[in-house]
Every structure is written in structure tokens, then in C-alpha cells.
Amino acid sequence: MTRIRRGYIARRRRTKIRLFASSFRGAHSRLTRTITQQKIRALVSSHRDRDRQKRNFRRLWITRINAVIREGGVSYSYSRLIHDLYKKKLLLNRKILAQIAISNKNCLYMISNEIIKKVDCKESTGII
């Protein structure tokens, strides 16, 4: 019997995996089994860290807003600001508020002071 040459499908699959792992170090970019393991590990990590990144940015925005708000008013805090924003139905998310807090503190002070005035007026008159 004559020798049968193998097809190109397996080789094409391996080269595709090798291209993914070309920037890895050592055996992680050279050996096929190790490459497949590292590919799975890399994809799992990237999927997990996308959610973690969203969490971390939200924490950063909250910290920035809270720091600026506490500088301005002694008895005013982040949680009261967000609560009053929801009461007034203002659509400003935390990312935008954090950008305002960094770039223009006076603008954030004005927003918070207006919210405080409007909320206090409604509570004193009995309108909710």
C-alpha cells in the first residue's frame, strides 16, 4: 500500500491557534497542547476581567464624585446627591458626574446646590 498524505485541515487549525499565541512566552507559543491550554486560559481571563473592569470604573467614579462633593458641603455626601438626583429625575450617570467633578468642580457644586434648594423647598411646603 502506498503512503497517504494527510490533509491540510489539522495543520490549518494548528496554525490558527499558533497565530493567537504568537506573543506568548516560551513553550506557551511553541507547543500545540500548551498553546491550546493557554488560549483557553487567556479567553477565560479576558471574559472575567471585562466584568471586573466595569466594576472598578464604577468604584472610581463614585470615589471621585464623593471626594468633590464632600469638599464643597460639610453635611452633604455622595449617597444624598444620588438620591436627590433620582428624586428630581435628572439623567446624569456616574461617569458624567465624575467627569464634571474632575474638569469643573464649580459646575458640580452648582448642580448639587440647585438640587438641595429644590428638594428642601418641596419638603418644607409639603409637596412631594
CATH of the domain at 37: 1.10.1900.20
Q: Tell me the Ramachandran region of residue 126: left when phi exceeds 0, alpha when psi lies from -120 to 50, beta otherwise.
A: left
Residue 3 falls within a domain, yes or no? no
List of residues 6+ apart from 108 with CB closer than 8 A: 65, 68, 69, 72, 97, 100, 101
* In the predicted structure, residue 74 carries a pLDDT above the cut 60: no
In a domain, 53, yes or no: yes
Structural domain includes residue 1: no
Specify the amino acid at residue 118. K
> In whole angstroms, what is the distance from residue 99 CA to residue 15 CA?
45
Q: Which residue has the higher pLDDT, 121 or 86?
A: 86
pLDDT of the residue at 125? 60
Q: Please, what's the b/e burial string for 93-126 (b: 16 or more CB within 10 A of its CB; e: otherwise)?
A: ebeebbebbeeeeeebbebbeebeeeeeeeeeee
> Is residue 2 included in any domain, yes or no?
no
CB 94 within 8 A of CB 66: no
Residue with the larger pLDDT of the pair 109 and 120: 109
Is residue 98 one of the residues assigned to a domain? yes
Task: Say whether pLDDT at 70 is over 80.
Answer: yes
- On whether residue 50 sits in a domain, the answer given is yes
The answer to the question of residue 73 being in a domain is yes
pLDDT category of residue 116 using cuts at 50, 70 and 90:
confident
In a domain? residue 114 = yes
Q: How many domains does the chain have?
A: 1
Q: 58 is in which domain, residue-wise?
A: 8-124
Query: Which pLDDT score, from 0 to 100, does residue 58 have?
Result: 96
